[in-house]
A and B are shown apart, each in its own frame.
Chain A
Amino acid sequence: MSRGRSRSTTRRGFAVLGVAIRRERWVFAASTLGSVLFGALTVADAWVLGWATDHAIVPAFRDGEVGTGVLWTVVALFVGVAMLRAVGIVARRLGAGVMQYRMQAHDRRAVTRQYLALPMAWHQRHPTGQLLSTASSDVEAAWGPIAPLPMAVGTIAMMVIAVAQMLAADVVMAVVGLLVFPAVVATNLIYQHFTSPLMTRAQALRGEVSEIAHESFDGAMVVKTLGREPEETERFAAKALELRDVNIRAGRIRAAFDPTLAALPNLGVLVVLAVGVSRVLSGATEPGDVVTVAYLLTIVSFPIRSLGWLLGEFPRSVVGFDRVRAVLGATGEMAYGDRSFPHPDRGARLEVAGLSYSHADDQTLLRDLDLVVEPGRTVALVGATASGKSTLTSLLARLVDPDSGAVTVDGVDLRDLARGELAGTLAVVPQTAFVFDDTVRGNVALGAAVSDEAVWHALRTAQADGFVAALPDGLDTRLGERGTSLSGGQRQRLALARALVRRPRLLVLDDATSAVDPEVEARILAALRRDGGSDGTSDDEAAAPDTTLVVVAYRKATISLADEVVFLADGRIADRGTHAALLARNPAYARLVNAYEQEHPLSDEPAGPVTPGTPGTPEEARP
């Protein structure tokens, strides 16, 4: 933005328009042609009237009669000129519209491509509401001057002709009259100077207003339950009022700019008259020449006004353009390699070596982690709240890259993989499920070519088939934005089905069943248990037989499925081994996973064996 200040807003405004003209030169040409046609035919109207006077009115009153042919010609000329002028109007306005909307759509596509390409770290710094404002308000502002552009360009021809005629009539008066132009430039510079900072602020405020609205609507539940509507409204109103004040200040300047521009040619006429009278009195010029120059100056006043409409849009346009460029110029996209996996048909081997990761504010979240999971094995990640488990799953899914060390799958560093390759192999089910504004089918398949049977199969494994079947349109039921019309547990199961339907070779569950109640979770676990539980309910093989499984879990039933347990504490691996071994030798681990029993010892109860295939049947009830 500082670079923008150093150059004049007017020049930058023209540069922005240059971008649009170069990209849409034909549409621009058509609409400018329309504008020229309109201008020419406006002049033609006067000519037609003159023709009608000479050929119809005068002869008619002279002769006391008039020929029908002449009258029809008058009608044809007037209507013909009007029709052509209408064509000009349509070409100018529609052309400007097409050009404007094409540029907007182009930028919106480019901006949203950036949103999708930029890394998570960038998104964490840029609130959703701001990004929405850039895609809508800033893009709109950037291309705002396109609307008055053809008119301004079209009238410039008029101005050039008028100036040439003025010079031909009387050079001294013409030069005096042409002083209007430097005055226009000066007025414009003053306007841009005062308006630009206000427009910069206004666009930023538009972003902030959008940001508060988005965040506040997003957190509507909390706002409502804590009765904070008045405070939220105050927070929003503060920005809305600031935007109002900036807009009013900018508006006052605009209110002075427009009439000043309109007055300049008129003042020019007065000066020309003053000079003209003295020149006529001194015999230096003829009264007719004064009339010509004065008349031509009034003709110039319209182009100057239409130029004013164009220039008036510049400050906002330049600011919008800069804000859009800032997004387009943002870097930090993840680099991808070109490697693919060597064995795409069997469980993946996961290796984490010397992995460290710290947050933007220097908070180290993971320190020097080493971990190997052989194909088909199940590893449980156990650790206290905020011990780094979710950070690790983000690294496994390559949502972020490590500060040092590497994650490799089947011997390939994730950073060397081709774009999209990892997603075909690994699926992560996050703690907080995200549901798209789409049908159930769309949410599970996410565009992958999978049959309805496969979708139902995955839903069954995730224990989501029951509630989906009960939805009014089954798989075709649309779920609201962010799936808020489903309960937390239902969303988690949908997210699980989404992972399962892809038959991943490496499945990472990040506490993905925390909102599901135990009974349902037990059924999910039973379906996921590959080598059969005590009663072998292996009717399901949604995960390929030797899918490698990494599970973040607290519940012992989940942990006990694992071949190995990795116990995380403060971003390090504190211990690893089987659940039983850790339980026996690591008191911190035992405290963590046995917390429920310690609170309420189930000493009188032999724990298990359980039948996860038929949980919830009352015969397990204990008196």
Chain B
Amino acid sequence: MSTVSPSGTRMDTGEDIAALETIRRGIRFSPELTEGFRTTLLLAVLAAVGQVVVPVAVQQTLDHGLGAAGGPDVRFTVLMGLAAAAAIAVTGVASYLMTSRLFSTSERGLATLRTKAFRHVHDLPLLTQNTERRGALVARVTSDVDQVSQFLVFGGLLFIVSLGQMAVATVVMAVYSWQLTVVVWVCFAPLFLSLRFFQRRLTAAYATVRRQVGAMLSAISEPVVGAAVVRSYAIEARTQRRIDEAVAAHQAASTRAQGLTAFSFSLGGISAGLANAGVIVIGIQLGLAGELTAGRILAFAFLVTLFVGPVQMGTQILTDAQNALAGWRRVIGILETPADLVDPGETGHDLPRGPLDVRFEGVTFAYPGGPPVLHDVTLHLAAGTRVAIVGETGSGKSTFAKLLTRLMDPSAGVVRLDGVDVREIRGGALRRSVVLVPQEGFLFDDTLRANLRYGRLDADDAALEAAAAELGLGDWLAGLPRGLDTRVGQRGESLSAGERQLVALLRAQLADPDLLVLDEATSAVDPALEMRLGRALEQLMRGRTSVTIAHRLSTAEKADEVVVVDGGRVVQRGPHAELVAQPGVYAGLHASWTAQHGDPAGSR
């Protein structure tokens, strides 16, 4: 655990996924999105048609009903009025149904996506989680997902409808004059070609925006979590500068992307201008050649607007979609980052109850791009033994614990529990049987009761109190003014570091594991309590295999076997009494320990 891994495993940013591919993969993760798609599309078409029918009906009423030669034609006016009313009703109902269906499928799909991404973050190795900053990870399951919703409701489907409208408009135009239709398409060709160019730019621009959102949230979350340090070192100004930089970078990226969007969108209008001019100029030429009449040219000019409308709508959706797609890509990026620690699932082995036999066979571990932290460790810990692992800070002790509990997998070699490769043990079974108590027990912002139950979900108050009593912590629990109802605060910060360790131990006690791994689990409690806990833990270890990463050699003295790690290798092993008599690393550690707890003041 001594090496940082700047080049460590990275979360997939998903930035290189193409637009259609993003949608395809997005749908694969959120199958709800395609539910009832045909009906919704039908409603969309109905709404689109209705939108055209209403003005036409009104137009007809005005021209032929009211303005009919020889006075208003009441009958026609009433008929057309009724037709228009029907069209208004159909349009309204169709677009209501369409939009509410879209909201429903989108939100359901996104909730699924969010939850899957959240779950996948937990399935990633701790290593990957560490390289991705916490705030940025939160952004991926919150803000990035939120971006997608607008596009799904107001974008995706309308884009398809726009394409349909363009096709219909093209056909109608072609019926009037195929030559002028070609002119219109030629005028729009540069726009369609430039779209590809702009899409690439926009994709990059919005990828930057989303990345900056993550960076910004990280910059904001850090001083909030580290509020105490920021205050006690009075580095508010520096911290604010870092946040301001992140905010400014996000602002700049957003503005740039918006500029590109506006520019790209404005090109549609220029193409429309060209098309109008082309239709008139070429139309006149064709007319002079006897191919067209003046009326047809004018009629065609109006048809062009039927084509331009959906083109502009489509361009707008396409450019606006880039922000959504960038967010979508990042969420998909999480889901497609391989979970290195693959749970074999239901096909995996179960572990029988009872103390576990532990074997390390040629285990080597290195962080990506770093030197090995453990070298070729081969070790057998018999079932039911109490083992202490000792060694200097940075010798590889914690790595040992993490491999044992499968928080990481070895770079080479195999870790076996009861003869089974840990990679082949069902995740649930492994966590049931193997529990690691880390140095810094994390507490959730909830009651003490809820935090203790983390160890065993169905434990009632009596069970919690019994566990505390067994570990000799009954007094501590009774001494808390609100007992089990005590709120522990964020990260458990209302409790002292020592008390947080007590909670972690109680959780392990409740979890009742067959292999208990303690990683300096009592480093922050007072000596008297630690010794009391030590005795209680001995009780807890009975009938289980236990591995204790010890920084106090009193623990080592009581262990059945001591394993001494130095420079990533096991250099000594055996009972305390035997090791302390040999010259070597252990004797040195022991001397230092005695020096610490000997009493120099008294000896002077």
Question: Which of B549-592 touch A at CB < 8 Å?
Answer: 551-554, 557, 580-581, 583-584, 587-592
Q: Is A98 engaged at the interface, CB distance under 8 Å to the other chain?
A: yes
> CB < 8 Å: which of B107, B135, B580 contacts A621?
B580
B279 to chain A, nearest CB (A): 9
Q: Is B259 an interface residue (CB 8 A)?
A: yes
* B430 proximity list for chain A (CB < 8 A): 227
A383 touches B (CB below 8 Å)? yes
- Asked if A343 CB lies within 8 Å of chain B CBs, one says no
Interface centre among A254, A277, A605 (most CB of B within 10 A): A277
Contact present for A521 and B596 (CB under 8 Å)? yes
**B557 contacts A226, CB within 8 Å?**
no
A537 surroundings in chain B (CB, below 8 A)? none
Q: How far is the CA of A65 from the CA of B551 in the complex (A)?
A: 102
What's the nearest-Cβ distance from chain B to residue A433, in Å?
9
**Is the pair A270, B81 in contact by a Cβ cutoff of 8 Å?**
yes
**Shortest CB distance B184–A (Å):** 13
Known A-B contacts A82-B272, A252-B100; A229 and B595 likewise in contact (beta carbons under 8 Å):
no
Given contacts A112-B240, A593-B527, A595-B528, contact A49 B276 (CB under 8 A): yes
Segment touching A, from B261-269, B380-388, B412-420? B261-269
Contact with B277, one of A78, A244, A437 (Cβ below 8 angstroms): A78
Known A-B contacts A97-B255, A209-B141, A254-B99; A472 and B6 likewise in contact (beta carbons under 8 Å):
yes
User: B239 near A595 (CB under 8 angstroms)?
Assistant: no
| CB-defined contacts of A407 to chain B, threshold 8 Å | none
Nearest chain A residue, comparing its CB with the CB of B250 = A105
Residues of B within 8 A of A7 (CB): none
The answer to whether A481 touches B435, judged by C-beta atoms less than 8 angstroms apart, is no
User: CA of A90 to CA of B259 in the docked complex: distance in angstroms?
Assistant: 7
Among A66, A231, A247, A616, contact of B457 (Cβ-Cβ < 8 Å): A231
Chain B residue contacts of A514, Cβ below 8 A = 497, 523-524
- Known contacts A116-B240, A276-B66, A287-B67; is-contact A226 B599 (Cβ 8 Å): no
Interface presence of B39 (CB below 8 A): no
Asked whether, in the complex, the Cβ of B226 is within 8 Å of the Cβ of A436, the reply is: yes
Collect the chain A residues with CB atoms within 8 Å of residue B137's CB.
213, 217
Number of B interface residues in the complex (CB < 8 A): 207
1/0 per residue, CB under 8 A from B, across A257-273: the answer is 01110110011011001
- The reply to whether B482 and A74 contact each other, CB–CB distance below 8 Å, is no
Please, which residues of chain A bring their CB within 8 A of the CB of B489? 124
Contacting pair A385 B62 (CB below 8 A): no
Query: Are B591 and A108 interface neighbours, CB within 8 A?
Result: no
Chain B residues with CB under 8 A of A89:
262, 265-266, 269
Stretch with Cβ within 8 A of A (4 or more), from B120-128, B158-166, B168-176, B351-359: B120-128
The chain B residue with its CB closest to the CB of A559 is B601
Q: Compute how far the CA of A481 lies from the CA of B146 in the bound complex, rounded to whole angstroms.
A: 25
The yes or no answer to A536 lying at the interface (CB within 8 A) is no
Cβ of B77 and Cβ of A112 under 8 Å apart? no
Question: Nearest chain-B residue to A41 (Cβ)?
Answer: B269
Instruction: Check if A592 is an interface residue, CB within 8 A of chain B.
Output: yes
Contact of A384 among B119, B122, B524, B529 (CB under 8 A): B529
Is residue A182 within 8 Å, beta carbon to beta carbon, of the partner chain?
Answer: no
Q: How far is the CA of A621 from the CA of B593 in the complex (A)?
A: 10
Contacts of B226 in A (CB 8 A): 434, 436, 482
Given A225-B407, A248-B103, also A482-B392 (CB < 8 A) = no
Are A281 and B72 interface neighbours, CB within 8 A? yes
Q: B18: CB under 8 A from chain A?
A: no
Q: What are the residues of chain A within 8 A of B141 when measuring CB–CB? A: 209, 213, 236
Q: Mark A132-169, 1 if CB is under 8 A from B, else 0.
A: 11011100100000000000000000000000000000
State how many angstroms separate the Cβ of A127 from the closest Cβ of chain B: 6
**CB-CB < 8 A to B103: which residues of A?**
247-248, 251-252, 254-255
Bound state CA distance, A276 and B54, in angstroms? 18
> Which residues on the A side are within 8 Å of B218 (C-beta)?
437, 481
| Residues of the A chain whose Cβ atoms lie less than 8 Å from the Cβ of B593 | 518-519
Taken residue by residue from 484 to 496, chain B's Cβ proximity to chain A (1 for < 8 Å, 0 otherwise) reads as: 0001011101111
Q: How far is the CB of B211 from chain A (nearest CB, A)?
A: 14
**Interface positions of B from 1 to 28, Cβ below 8 Å from A:** 1-6, 8
Asked if B153 is an interface residue, CB under 8 A from chain A, the answer is: yes
Beta-carbon contacts under 8 Å, A52-69 to B: 52-53, 56-58, 60-61, 64-66
Tell whether, in the assembled complex, residue A556 and residue B255 are in contact, meaning their CB atoms are under 8 Å apart: no
Q: A104 an interface residue at 8 Å Cβ cutoff?
A: yes
B269 pairs with A482, CB closer than 8 A: no
Q: Identify B227's interface contact among A123, A226, A594, CB under 8 A.
A: A123
Docked complex Cα distance between A216 and B444 (Å): 8
Given contacts A56-B280, A101-B254, A290-B66, contact A226 B110 (CB under 8 A): no
One of B192-200, B281-289, B325-333, B460-468 contacting the partner: B281-289
* Chain B hits for A218, CB < 8 A: 134, 225, 442, 491
List, in ascending order, chain A residues with CB within 8 A of B81's CB: 270, 273-274
In the assembled complex, B297 has its CB within 8 A of some CB on chain A: yes
The answer to whether A94 has its CB under 8 Å from any CB of chain B is yes
Contact A237 B457 (CB under 8 A): no
Query: Which partner residue on chain B sits nearest A90 by CB separation?
Result: B262
CB distance from B20 to the nearest CB of A (A): 25
Is the C-beta of B220 less than 8 angstroms from some C-beta in chain A? yes
With CB as the reference atom, state the residue of chain B lying closest to A516: B393
CA distance A128 to B402 in the complex (A): 28
List B contacts of A424 (CB < 8 A).
234
- Chain B residues whose C-beta falls within 8 Å of the C-beta of A612 in the assembled complex: 595
Given contacts A136-B142, A229-B122, A608-B603, are A298 and B457 in contact (CB under 8 A)?
Answer: no
Q: Are B270 and A522 in touch, CB under 8 angstroms?
A: no
Contact of A399 among B85, B232, B435 (CB under 8 A): B232
A136-B139, A214-B221 as given contacts; A244 in contact with B84, CB under 8 Å = no
Chain A residue with the shortest CB-CB distance to B124:
A220
- Residues from chain B with a CB closer than 8 A to the CB of A557 are 595-598, 600
B4, A222: Cβ atoms closer than 8 Å: no
CA distance A554 to B530 in the complex (A): 11
User: Is A600 located at the chain interface by the 8 A CB criterion?
Assistant: yes
Known: A105-B248, A233-B115. A618 touches B217 (CB 8 A): no
- Please state if A517 and B392 are interface contacts (CB–CB under 8 Å): yes
Contact between A580 and B294, CB atoms less than 8 A apart: no
Distance (whole angstroms) from the CB of A493 to the closest CB of chain B: 8
A290: nearest chain-B partner, CB-CB: B66
Within 8 A of A (CB), among B435-482: 435-445, 454-455, 457, 476, 481-482
A223 touches B284 (CB 8 A): no
- When distances are taken between beta carbons in the complex, the residues of chain B under 8 Å from A97 are 254-255, 258-259, 261-262
Chain A residues within 8 Å of B370, by CB: 472
Residue of B nearest to A147 (CB): B258
A555 — which chain B residues lie within 8 A by C-beta? 527, 596-597
Q: Which residue of B lies closest to A562 (CB)?
A: B601
The answer to whether A618 and B487 touch across the interface, beta carbons within 8 angstroms, is no
When chains A and B are docked, how far (Å) is the Cα of A113 from the Cα of B230? 12
Chain B contacts for A281, CB-based, 8 A = 72, 74
Residue B177 lies at the interface, judged by CB distance under 8 Å to chain A? no
**A:100-133 near B, CB below 8 Å:** 101-102, 104-105, 108-109, 112-113, 115-117, 120, 123-124, 127-129, 131-133
The smallest beta-carbon distance between B274 and chain A, in angstroms, is 6
B523 — nearest CB in chain A belongs to which residue?
A514
Contact B600–A607 (Cβ < 8 Å): yes
Residue B35 interfacial (CB < 8 Å): no
Partner of B67, one of A291, A446, A484, A595: A291
A428 / chain B contacts, CB cutoff of 8 Å = 232
Can you list 22 pairs linking A and B with CB atoms under 8 Å apart?
Answer: A82-B272, A90-B259, A105-B248, A108-B216, A109-B244, A120-B227, A132-B224, A206-B142, A218-B225, A222-B438, A244-B108, A248-B107, A254-B103, A259-B92, A260-B92, A361-B487, A383-B526, A436-B226, A485-B130, A511-B497, A580-B602, A599-B531
Apart from A467-B393, A487-B394: 4 A-B pairs, beta carbons within 8 A: A248-B100, A255-B95, A486-B4, A618-B587
Query: What 5 A-B pairs come out closest when comparing CB atoms?
Result: A227-B431, A82-B273, A251-B103, A620-B591, A97-B258
